[in-house]
Structure 1
């Protein structure tokens, strides 16, 4: 029995018969569809839907003239967790040449958790690594990182897009952050990226919500200052130079984050960025500029690990283009789903946040 969500002809963006690469809705829809193609490719594998008559994944990319040229396979469970798509458009007309110049040549897409027996155990293991701030230590990340580095080195970052949903969004952000620190700034589409924090954004009373965030910022900034002072004493004792500011190094990279207020796994990105502006308004911007580089959970994990974990949590991002789905969702499943991001009947609000 075919699942409706896997069938492009039933749930895909059939309205996009012609893609305008300068159109944000079109770009978002194509990126989300390619990520869905990876989900379906893994379900094709598990359900043994092989060949042109049975496999459902190809249409999610071929409809937009993309071809899956490489599957990224996890070395632990052999599941398909990502893929590299190549764009092979038809000969453009004179009116679409400018649009085609904005298109990617390759898209590296990563799926999220698949609730099927052959992959759920490994996917949950990766989800736990995100919670523990250890995604960068996994072999799946190493495979993804190698693919991104090789592709960027081969064709240049301007020709490569990264895209992912949920767990895959964390993978896209982490690989993107890693290369961005070297000055390579790939386009990145992160759908429902996890933000590990208490769901403060769901508090209705704005004064209480703002008060909690201010208190959290003060505590986080205080702990961060204490950590920094300890590190400086150690560096001075060993005559070591101060380490580079890795957070500020990412300020020129603008990943595109797509979140839904009804999805508690990603909705905190809304408050994370809005709170910066509010702290600036009340004259406490210096506190937030320090607090925004850290998380309470990350600082605690750093203490537990004895300072060995030097990688910042994936969700700590200085700059972003944040798109919020303002339409109501029936339940969490819909709010966290990938399909919402190509729907024509949704209302989206986009804001740009830059770290200064």
Structure 2
């Protein structure tokens, strides 16, 4: 009995010694081998931080796309960027990078140990400008440009066909204390007015987009946003389209709910009724009025033809009540809106109305709201998208101002 107790005591002591040795060894590695190892200690800290980042839920290798290839020399022959699905997934990754740029800033991570760079480096892009809200110092957007030096390392001597020279990526709302106030302020702005033009972020995003277009040309620039960022992307893209400058636009879960939308619907219905009543009344203008109407119709037709090059892409999950109304065919439409049964939306008062939007709806996406509103679903491997077959009056309302030509302008034409 005594012999058995002694054996167990020896085993316990050995086990304790091994544990202490392992802890001591680990401590030495983390502390750089004891006193006088300051540099090695810094290196150990960096390794530990790097390991923590690689295991982070938002790390590219943890939550990023699984089967999305990086550019290589084969893209010179057959560019992946020609595939609409590839382009959609990469731009979604760039928007995720902007979310993480702000989170890295809040958590004081640098470019060396940050989460964000891993979301653009695999595609041979680099951030050349961050858009900062001066009110709270938060990052709400970024300009990403093709990194030719990084591309050279993969023997990519020229930019693949279809790859934009620059992408403006805009994030949505982050519900964390450093940025939540300004984010919600713009959310409420859209909810109340269905417009973001009064925001300093609209001004900053539009200026950044103009600068990129001036440098590279509109055909080499894209803009993308998620949620609130999609609202900004739509409005800055529309602002340039009014000037005859058309940039590729990708909108993920764009906001569709607003109080102003309901008020506009009532107003449009009243205008429509009054227009019918007025048309039934006798008029003294006679031939002159008819000429004026024809002139205005011709002006609208010309403008519609000019704007036909701008086709924003909207990506919607119907389980997300923030964006689902884009795929809802109900609601009044203005007299200038024409219908197209091919899943594309047309607007204009004449036969020359131009295709103005492509609405993609996820057919097998997540059903719970938080996941349905998330960005990650848009680079999922097993996702299925379909071009919406119904007519969207909400898109018509959002884009109608592109086709509105003042009567004075019509007379001048």
1:268 correspondence with 2:325: yes
Q: CA deviation at 1:14?
A: 3.6
Alpha-carbon distance in structure 1 between the residues aligned to 2:365 and 2:220: 35
1:173 correspondence with 2:225: no
Q: Pairwise CA RMSD of aligned residues? A: 4.0
SS in 2 for 1:6: coil
**Aligned match of 1:85:** 144
1:188 correspondence with 2:240: no
SS in 2 for 1:261: coil
**Aligned match of 2:43:** none
Higher helix share: 2
Instruction: Pick from 109, 113, 117 the counterpart of residue 177 of structure 2.
Output: 117
Alpha-carbon distance in structure 1 between the residues aligned to 2:321 and 2:228: 14
8 A Cα contact 1:22 1:99, kept in partner:
no
Q: Deviations over 1:97-134 (max 9, x none)?
A: 99812110000000000011000010000001111234
Length-normalised TM-score, structure 1: 0.72
Alpha-carbon distance in structure 1 between the residues aligned to 2:274 and 2:185: 32
Alpha-carbon distance in structure 2 between the residues aligned to 1:351 and 1:99: 33
8 A Cα contact 1:21 1:99, kept in partner:
no
Q: Deviations over 1:224-281 (max 9, x none)?
A: 675999xxxxxx9xxxx98986995755410010000100111111124999899778
Alpha-carbon distance in structure 2 between the residues aligned to 1:129 and 1:43: 24
Q: Deviations over 1:18-49 (max 9, x none)?
A: 45011111100000000000000000011111
Alpha-carbon distance in structure 2 between the residues aligned to 1:129 and 1:107: 25
Q: CA deviation at 1:341?
A: 0.4
8 A Cα contact 2:327 2:388, kept in partner:
no
8 A Cα contact 2:256 2:322, kept in partner:
yes
SS in 2 for 1:63: helix
1:220 correspondence with 2:268: yes
Length-normalised TM-score, structure 2: 0.63
Q: CA deviation at 1:76?
A: 1.2
SS in 1 for 2:174: coil
8 A Cα contact 1:160 1:186, kept in partner:
yes
Instruction: Pick from 67, 75, 78 the counterpart of residue 126 of structure 2.
Output: 67
1:137 correspondence with 2:198: yes
SS in 2 for 1:50: coil
SS in 2 for 1:21: helix
Structure 1 pair 107–274 and aligned structure 2 pair: CA distance change class (3 A) = farther
**Aligned match of 2:369:** 332
8 A Cα contact 2:318 2:362, kept in partner:
yes
Alpha-carbon distance in structure 1 between the residues aligned to 2:326 and 2:268: 17
Instruction: Pick from 293, 308, 314 the counterpart of residue 257 of structure 1.
Output: 314
8 A Cα contact 2:171 2:229, kept in partner:
yes
- Structure 1, 4-13 or 173-182: larger mean CA deviation: 4-13
Alpha-carbon distance in structure 2 between the residues aligned to 1:250 and 1:147: 22
Alpha-carbon distance in structure 2 between the residues aligned to 1:345 and 1:56: 25
8 A Cα contact 1:40 1:56, kept in partner:
yes
**Aligned match of 2:109:** 49
The structure 1 segments of at least 4 consecutive aligned residues displaced by more than 4 Å after TM superposition are 1-5, 91-94, 96-99, 216-219, 224-229, 241-251, 272-281, 351-356
Structure 1 pair 267–120 and aligned structure 2 pair: CA distance change class (3 A) = same
Alpha-carbon distance in structure 2 between the residues aligned to 1:92 and 1:348: 35
Give the number of equivalent residue pairs. Answer: 298
**Aligned match of 1:7:** 59
Gaps in structure 1 of 5+ consecutive residues: 199-212, 230-235, 291-316
8 A Cα contact 1:327 1:347, kept in partner:
yes
Structure 1 pair 197–272 and aligned structure 2 pair: CA distance change class (3 A) = farther
SS in 2 for 1:137: coil
8 A Cα contact 1:71 1:80, kept in partner:
yes
1:146 correspondence with 2:207: yes
Alpha-carbon distance in structure 2 between the residues aligned to 1:337 and 1:327: 14
